[in-house]
Structure 1
Amino acid sequence: MMSSSAPQFPVVHRSLALDIKDHKTELVLCSYDDHFLIVASQIGAFGTILHARKEEGVTVEPTFSVSVVFGKRDEPMMVACARQLIENISKSATPKPLLLSLGLRDHTLDTVKGIVSAVIENRLW
């Protein structure tokens, strides 16, 4: 006999849809044990995948590493988005690296600001 309640997804997550600069934008935020995964899509697909992390070192000021795993390598706004998010994540009690997927129709500063704001408002860290 089947249980009446569906099993819960084992990863803490949040998903939402919002309008950013007249583009329907879907956001999925997941908190895994060792990474955060954020998917922001206006095209219904993953798009460019970036990896961002805080570098551990001997300097007083933190440094951050952002790299494109695959996708558009010539979009500075995507790198800026990942950097803003990893800087915010690194302030939390449990900083973890970030895997960020951006499938965007609009690569402007206003779009990036909208995504960063929405993620921070709905953060899982």
Structure 2
Amino acid sequence: MSAYADRIMVVATQLGTFGTVLLSRADGLLEGKQTFTVDTLLGKRDEPALIVCARHMAESIMTAGCNRPVLVCLGLKQLSFDAMRAIIKEVMAHPVW
């Protein structure tokens, strides 16, 4: 995980590569709740679990007080909800913002 002036970058890999690269950013408020947009920049575009992981990671980071977009690189063999929770828990345990 790295912090840059304009974004946070999170890399979680089991493959030794960046895997799928997603950009998650806050859009605005809808009925009092923050909304997020997730764009797949590189890699698997037909994997909704990756989008869900990036969205939840951005939501967790923004809740912790960071307003920057989150660049998420996921190179995982298989993404499960347990793996997603473990990745987000690890990111939140080591804040760089």
- TM-score, shorter chain, exceeding 0.5: yes
Cα RMSD of the aligned pairs, angstroms, is 1.5
Q: Distance in 2 between matches of 1:48 and 1:100?
A: 8
Structure 2-normalised TM-score? 0.90
The number of residue pairs the alignment matches comes to 97
More relative contact order in 1 or in 2 (CA 8 Å, sep 6+)? 2
After TM superposition, what 4+ stretches of structure 1 lie above 6 angstroms from structure 2?
none
User: Comparing both structures, which one devotes a greater share of its residues to helix?
Assistant: 2
Unaligned runs of 5+ in 2: none
Unaligned runs of 5+ in 1: 1-28
Q: CA deviation at 1:91?
A: 1.8
Q: Deviations over 1:57-91 (max 9, x none)?
A: 57522111111111011112111111111101222
Structure 1-normalised TM-score? 0.71
Q: Distance in 2 between matches of 1:59 and 1:34?
A: 27
Q: Hey, what does 1:87 align to over in structure 2?
A: 59
1:45-64 correspondence runs (5 A): 45-56=17-28, 60-64=32-36
Q: Which has the larger radius of gyration?
A: 1
